[in-house]
Amino acid sequence: MRRGLRGRLEGVYERLLEREVSGAPTHVAVIQDGNRRYAIERGAETTEGHRAGADTTERVLRWCGDLGIEELTLYAFSTENFERPPAEREALFDLITEKLRTFADREEVHDRAVHIRAIGETHRLPDRVRTAVDYAEARTADYDRLHLNVALAYGGRAELLGVARDVAREAAAGDVRPGEVDVAEIEGRLTTGPTRAVDLIIRTGGDERTSNFLPWHANGNEAAVYFCAPYWPEFSRVDFLRALRTYQSRRESWRRTRARRAAALLRALGDVELEEARRIVGRFRDQDVPLPTDHAPDGD
């Protein structure tokens, strides 16, 4: 009876969270941590934890489609994961190969027009994984409603280091002027990254770090970060909605801060600059950002 009551309460709480989330982020990136610990605590092989985590991935993909999220990036295999024991590493490769093919053939993926793409140093992966990547990408190449990026053999710092070396080499050869290297130039060279800036990073498993994940697309965009305790196989829709609420709260706080700064600038300017300042501040009003009065508090 207690279990039934708890289930009903969780359902009510989930619906409450849905009402509180008024705007979903465009791009969510997930660090799927805790698969091995989930299995160990249950006395199972680590591969069973990864398999349970793959089931969670399917559910999250469905939630993203339901909520209108346009891009999802999953940290499936990092460059550091090559250091894992050979048996575990090979089992992971087998699971990734299986799931890529399964996803690519799943009717729901085609109904939702999901475009699957691998990002990272995929040339370092075994042939069977690269073949599965090619299959999944080819099967979903014409879709664009929801982009699913699977980060395989991915390391953010190594990616940025490679770009820096390329620019330095070309500058030394006189092929590029250092002063002309801008954001667009760098993004054009990040061939292993996602298509959009990251709005929200989610990490499961209790650790509070982003582990070299998408440093340019996430940190550069000042993405919101949500850390939670459940292992990835235990990650629920309630956890996902809480993460979205964190993103929404951070976005609203950022807008309020920006509006306060604009209002302070307006008050500091003299009459000559007043009309121009009002025009600038008007941009914030157009985005439904509440402007403070002269007596507005300094904090949020």
Supply the residues annotated as catalytic.
Answer: 33, 81
Residue at token pair 């982003």: 210
State whether residue 72 is helix, strand or coil: strand
* Burial class of residue 12 in the structure, from the number of CB atoms within 10 Å of its CB (0-12 exposed, 13-18 middle, 19+ buried): exposed
Half-sphere exposure (Cβ direction) of 270: Cα atoms closer than 13 Å: 1
Closest CA to 28 of 69, 88, 83: 69
Instruction: Please list, residue by residue across 83-99, b when 16 or more beta carbons sit within 10 angstroms of its beta carbon and e when fewer do.
Output: eeeeeeeebbbebbbeb
Output the DSSP codes for 127-163: HHHHHHHHHHHHHTTT--SEEEEEEEEE-HHHHHHHH
